[in-house]
Amino acid sequence: MSKKTNDDDLWNDPETAKKLLQKKSNLEKTLADFESLESDYQNLNDLYQIAPQDTDVLNAIENLAKRTSQAKFVTLFHGPTDNNGAFLFIQAGAGGTEAQDWAEMLTRMYSRWIERHGFSAEIVDEHPGDVAGIKSITFKIDGEKAYGWLKSEIGVHRLVRISPFNANGKRQTSFASVDVWPDIDDNIEIEINEKDLRIDTYRSSGAGGQHVNKTDSAVRITHIPTNTVVTCQNERSQFQNKDMAMKILRSRLYELELKKREAIDAAAKANQKKIEWGSQIRNYVLYPYQLVKDVRTNVETNDSNAVLDGDLDEFMLAYLQQSE
């Protein structure tokens, strides 16, 4: 790899050069991660010999075990954008306040998962619910392999619980959908014709700074040929909102193009990956018993509180392994 990147003729083909250097960078990062694990293991082994009952040492060993468990799945992240950041979109299904509250619960769940992985997240668009919860929200997530992890969450999520909004205490079923797109960089060319775009501005509706609800700073862009609509309202100016909306649009159009190219394979897996109301990927049952079960992999747990607090890796990894 180093021999190829040091070749004097490398930049005769800029596109190939960029891909090769990106691959080299990813391999170097993976190697560095494994070397760090080995070094930490040696250090903790020495510390354990000296202080086998020390709480900090035991916690560090537990953390190292989790890192090691995740590292062995590095081969699962081999897609063209698996190492990229991601855009995460959560939308409440039919059902009014119940579904909007469930969408907010999912927002917290993924926020906690993002924290656990040391990623950073920025809300770029949010539409609050009429009474409680949210109608929809879009996050921009920065972190190594964020898209590779989160692509396993695409689909419908179903909640069963006693409704906190029903005075009769009846059991309620709610739905919310999750979509994820890779945060693509400028090295990936996506051709967008300005004539194919309809750009609308409107007043921001979410909580925020002084500009919210006072100026038409929010931006909605419609890509007419694909009927793809993206919105952004949480940046400080109309220009910034338009810039972020265009970034999201590029990511969505890139994902659409990938899906076209994978049409044959997708057809073979249609039942597994189909996304629509009534064909959820995961059930979260809080009443009359506690159970979270992924219907694609049959992975399940009775610790629903841990899952709703962001403990999702077992579900994600099982899906990624099954998709190999």
Which of 128-137, 143-152, 162-171 has the weakest average pLDDT?
Answer: 162-171
In this model, does residue 188 exceed pLDDT 90?
no
Amino acid 241: pLDDT: 92
Amino acid 208: pLDDT: 45
Which of 66-70, 117-121, 264-268, 315-319 has the weakest average pLDDT?
Answer: 264-268
Amino acid 103: pLDDT: 97
Share of the chain above pLDDT 70, in %: 84
- pLDDT band for 209, please (50, 70, 90 cuts): very low
Other Cβ atoms less than 10 A from the Cβ of 321: the count is 12
Average pLDDT over residues 105-130: 94
Q: Of 264 and 237, which is predicted with more confidence?
A: 237
From its phi and psi, is residue 111 left (phi > 0), alpha (psi between -120 and 50) or beta?
A: alpha
Q: In whole numbers, what is the pLDDT of the chain averaged over residues?
A: 84
Q: Of 9 and 144, which is predicted with more confidence?
A: 144
**Distance, CA of 227 to CA of 30 (rounded, Å):** 39
The pLDDT tens digits of the residues spanning 245-278 come to 998 998 999 888 777 766 634 443 443 344 345 5
- pLDDT band for 73, please (50, 70, 90 cuts): confident
The pLDDT tens digits of the residues spanning 135-159 come to 999 999 998 889 999 999 999 999 9
Q: Of 144 and 197, which is predicted with more confidence?
A: 197
- pLDDT band for 187, please (50, 70, 90 cuts): low
Amino acid 320: pLDDT: 92
Amino acid 275: pLDDT: 38
Which of 27-31, 196-200, 235-239, 252-256 has the weakest average pLDDT?
Answer: 27-31
In this model, does residue 177 exceed pLDDT 70?
yes
Q: What are phi and psi of 195, to 5 degrees?
A: -70, -20
Average pLDDT over residues 179-187: 81
Domains and CATH numbers, the chain: 2-72 (no CATH), 85-187+271-322 (3.30.70.1660), 194-261 (3.30.160.20)
Amino acid 157: pLDDT: 96
Which of 2-16, 186-200, 259-273 has the weakest average pLDDT?
Answer: 259-273
Residue 160's closest CA among 280, 288, 311?
A: 288
Average pLDDT over residues 226-232: 93
Long-range Cβ pairs for the range 74-81 (8 Å, 24+) = 74/30, 74/33, 76/148, 76/317, 76/320, 76/321, 76/324, 77/145, 77/148, 77/320, 79/148, 79/151, 80/258, 81/147, 81/148, 81/182, 81/184, 81/254
